[in-house]
Amino acid sequence: MFGELADKLRGRNKVILVHGNADMDAIGSAYALKMAFPDADIYAPNSIDRVSKIVCEKIGVEYKESCDLSAYEQIVVVDTSSPEQLEGVPELPKNTIVIDHHLPTGKWDEYDFYCDPDRTSCCEIIKDILDENGIPIDRDTALMLIGGMITDSGHFQFAKPGLLTAFADLMERCSINMDEAYNLTMAPVSMSEKIAMLKAIERTKFDRVGNLIVATSYGGSFEASACRAIMTAGADVVFVGSQRDDTFRLSARATQEAVRKGVNLGEIMKGIGSETQTDGGGHAGAAGISGIGDVEAMLFICMKRTMEIFREIKSKDLLEREV
């Protein structure tokens, strides 16, 4: 399969798109493809996140924030679960190559779609593409791939054996030490991020079923950081949202223990997204949803849906104890 994909990427003028506020998994995947299949540009139509900017400065990764897609022979999209995540980008041609690892939403079915939702990160898929086609991986490319693996696995909290194997292989092949890998994605916490986390904690609402707690909050920025702060305070599942005019954005996180018991945030976000005509999806322990709507109403829906799942988990636990 990847041999056929490589043939489509060779010898063509390419642009590689990443989703809005692109994370390290997206940027790492795009960079590795650019280095493996030259004559390519990375296009981040809605910028990249803070950690990705820091890593790009360290490695010297260049990317475009404006681009004429018609100037390229081939368009590639990486680590993007739906076209809606490419806000402001015109409709893509059907021969666009899409490489992803999120739960399929059905919105890429008409495109040249390569997806493995069993992978923790998209960078693992990109590494397989390069290895299967005998393309060498230099040290900078390995660092970018490693950065995506670290961040998308929640610093290995949600890592599967395949990610750890790929990570170790890159470390050994390119003589990368663990401290270097970890320091690559380390970013100092700014004062604005600290304030955003404290405000999110102050605005938190929560409910519980048995020993499981779900919490919701809202703010103006740093939703993912706020989720982590509220989880540290004791929540098992957290939803934090923000409002921009008539549009909202919401991040969700769950502990590994909640995931093991049956919580799957990717499925929750995907289901709510299809019901509300918004764009939702992600992984079992980390997901998001965005679109037109009221953030408080969406947080209420997320809280209600999670409570239903908590009750199902409690009922299952009771039945198992009786047996």
Domains of the chain listed by start with CATH number: 2-184 (3.90.1640.10), 191-322 (3.10.310.40)
| Alpha helical stretches, state H, 10-121 | 24-36, 50-59
Residue-wise pLDDT tens for the chain (323 aa)? 788 999 999 989 999 999 998 999 999 999 999 999 999 999 999 899 989 999 999 999 999 999 999 999 999 999 999 998 898 899 999 999 999 999 898 899 999 999 999 999 999 999 999 999 999 999 999 999 999 999 999 899 889 999 999 999 999 999 999 999 989 998 888 899 899 999 999 999 999 999 999 999 998 788 988 999 999 999 999 999 999 899 999 999 999 999 999 999 999 999 999 899 898 888 899 999 999 999 999 999 999 999 999 999 999 888 887 76
**What token pair was written down for 63?**
């990317």
What is the pLDDT at residue 320? Answer: 80
What is the pLDDT at residue 307? Answer: 97
**Single pTM value for the model:** 0.81
Specify whether the CB–CB gap between 34 and 126 falls below 8 A.
Answer: no
| Alpha helical stretches, state H, 133-261 | 139-152, 161-173, 178-184, 191-202, 223-232, 256-261
